[in-house]
Amino acid sequence: MIEKLVESMRDEMIKTMVEMIPIKAISPELGGTGEKERADYLEKVLTGIGFDELKRLDAKDESGYVRPNIIAKIRGTEGKKTLWLAAHIDTVPEGDRSLWKTDPFKAVVEGDKIYGRGTADDGQAVVSSIYAVKALKESGVRPKNNVGLMLLADEEVGSKYGMHYVLDNYEFGKNDEFIVPDAGDSKGDVIEIAEKGLLWICLKVIGKQGHGSRPDLSLNANRIGMKLALSIDERLHFKFSSTNSIFVPPYSTFEPTKREPNVQNINTIPGTDVFCFDCRILPSYKVDDVFSEIKDEAEHYKKKFGVDVELNLVQKSEPAPETDPNSEVVLKLKKAIKELRGFEPMLIGIGGGTVAAPLRRKGYNAAVWFTTDNVEHAPNEYCKISNMVEDAKVFAKVISEY
Ligand SMILES: [Zn+2]
């Protein structure tokens, strides 16, 4: 049984995680130097497995850093299509270091947990995917179709040098399917087959700075910014109010999030105010229509208060089509979860963005699944060893029967 083989690799999986986490893999946009060293390490781990194809698709980014992607493949007996396990190797930075109880760049094993930045996101998936394929190789089973492993760069900053680069530079079969282990819940009972569209936008309100005692001579951008943020908030919720029960939560979300610091002292009236919205939009709407509403409200404020308002569109992606709930990848994944865990997983849509979206836009079926306590990007991020091992069993079962 392939699950037994996975179980026998438990210590090896822990070792790989513990060795991988100290090798930082943060993108230059977030203050790092890319993922090259981590990819070099993982390539060594993969070399012993015996893939029929093992190659690197290295991109070079604007700052000159190598952004590595690893592609590995085992051919099936018929090999008409490939089921890919696609995990990402980059991580976000540690954030506020004082909130960590352990060194974020050491993998610290404590009972069933391994603490460290990137252990859950997406280290657990990297390790469980690798060992699922390794177990398949060692079992001697050659499935009907091919099995692929993709270890990707640049997921945390939009995948330009990761999934998008691979899609542009690697020829996938037109019926290939994908498992993306990068979102889930603590039981592993949800398979994500749809994602909301995304709009990240910042607005800069420009008024006139002045002394705190002379509002008559200034134009308080802070006050107008607050009013504008609330108007946009209300307007978007009113205008885009439809629901779709497959999604969690079942409606579009429009959240005022980041606010930039303004003046250093209490007795200065701020001349500028910058605030941002994180919008997650149901597929029944167009992201551009949300943008237009925001722009319209900003125009209205310009006229009403005499301020200037600049819009900065930080990130935008239209919702991708849903993955077919009856596709082979979804059905096989459901079956393996049912057999190994004893429950039927639910098919859902989420607001977060994974690399499944660009795949779906190209017409591929992609199922997002893994088991996680959702501690991604948080201080004291951890992965449970049991999740890492049990997920590998599910993957191994799916790929061996594909
Ligand atoms: Zn991730």
- Residue-by-residue DSSP string for 341-384: HSSPPEEEEESS--THHHHHHTT-EEEE--B--S-TTSTT-EEE
Task: Cite the DSSP H helix spans in 205-306.
Answer: 221-239, 287-305
Predicted confidence at residue 1, as pLDDT, reads 87
What six digits make up the tokens of 209? 């700075």
User: What is the rounded distance in angstroms from the CA atom of residue 243 to the CA atom of residue 196?
Assistant: 12
Side-chain-side CA neighbours of 118 within 13 Å: the count stands at 32
Domain positions in the chain are 2-195+320-400, 197-317
User: What is the rounded distance in angstroms from the CA atom of residue 101 to the CA atom of residue 116?
Assistant: 10
Q: Which CATH superfamily, name and number, covers 2-195+320-400?
A: Zn peptidases (3.40.630.10)
- CB distance 200 to 311 below 8 Å: no
User: Ligand 1 centre and the CA of 250: distance in Å?
Assistant: 22
* Whole-number Cα distances in Å, 300 to 26, 104, 228, 286, 305: 41, 46, 10, 22, 9
Domain topology for 197-317: Alpha-Beta Plaits (3.30.70)
User: Ligand 1 centre and the CA of 9: distance in Å?
Assistant: 24
- CB distance 345 to 369 below 8 Å: yes
Predicted confidence at residue 116, as pLDDT, reads 98
Rounded to two decimals, what is the model's pTM?
0.86
Predicted confidence at residue 352, as pLDDT, reads 80
Comparing CA positions, the residue from 92, 1, 10, 15 lying closest to residue 392 is 10
| Pairing outcome for strands 82-88 and 70-74 | unpaired
User: Ligand 1 centre and the CA of 376: distance in Å?
Assistant: 7
Mark the ranges of the chain whose per-residue pLDDT is less than 50. Answer: none
User: Ligand 1 centre and the CA of 150: distance in Å?
Assistant: 14
User: Ligand 1 centre and the CA of 88: distance in Å?
Assistant: 7
**How distant is the alpha carbon of residue 250 from its chain centre?**
20
User: Ligand 1 centre and the CA of 236: distance in Å?
Assistant: 28
Active-site residue numbers?
90, 155
What six digits make up the tokens of 19? 């060795």
The 10 Å Cβ neighbour count of residue 31 is: 9
Predicted confidence at residue 347, as pLDDT, reads 96
Predicted confidence at residue 152, as pLDDT, reads 98
User: Ligand 1 centre and the CA of 260: distance in Å?
Assistant: 26
Structure confidence by residue, pLDDT tens digits, 304-320? 999 999 999 999 988 88
- CB distance 88 to 151 below 8 Å: yes
* Whole-number Cα distances in Å, 205 to 208, 291, 327: 10, 17, 48
Structure confidence by residue, pLDDT tens digits, 87-127? 999 999 999 999 999 999 999 999 999 999 999 999 999 99
User: What is the rounded distance in angstroms from the CA atom of residue 246 to the CA atom of residue 358?
Assistant: 20
User: What is the rounded distance in angstroms from the CA atom of residue 367 to the CA atom of residue 191?
Assistant: 6
- Provide, rounded to the nearest whole percent, the portion of the chain with pLDDT above 90: 96
User: Ligand 1 centre and the CA of 16: distance in Å?
Assistant: 18
User: What is the rounded distance in angstroms from the CA atom of residue 302 to the CA atom of residue 42?
Assistant: 53
Predicted confidence at residue 360, as pLDDT, reads 95
User: Ligand 1 centre and the CA of 182: distance in Å?
Assistant: 5
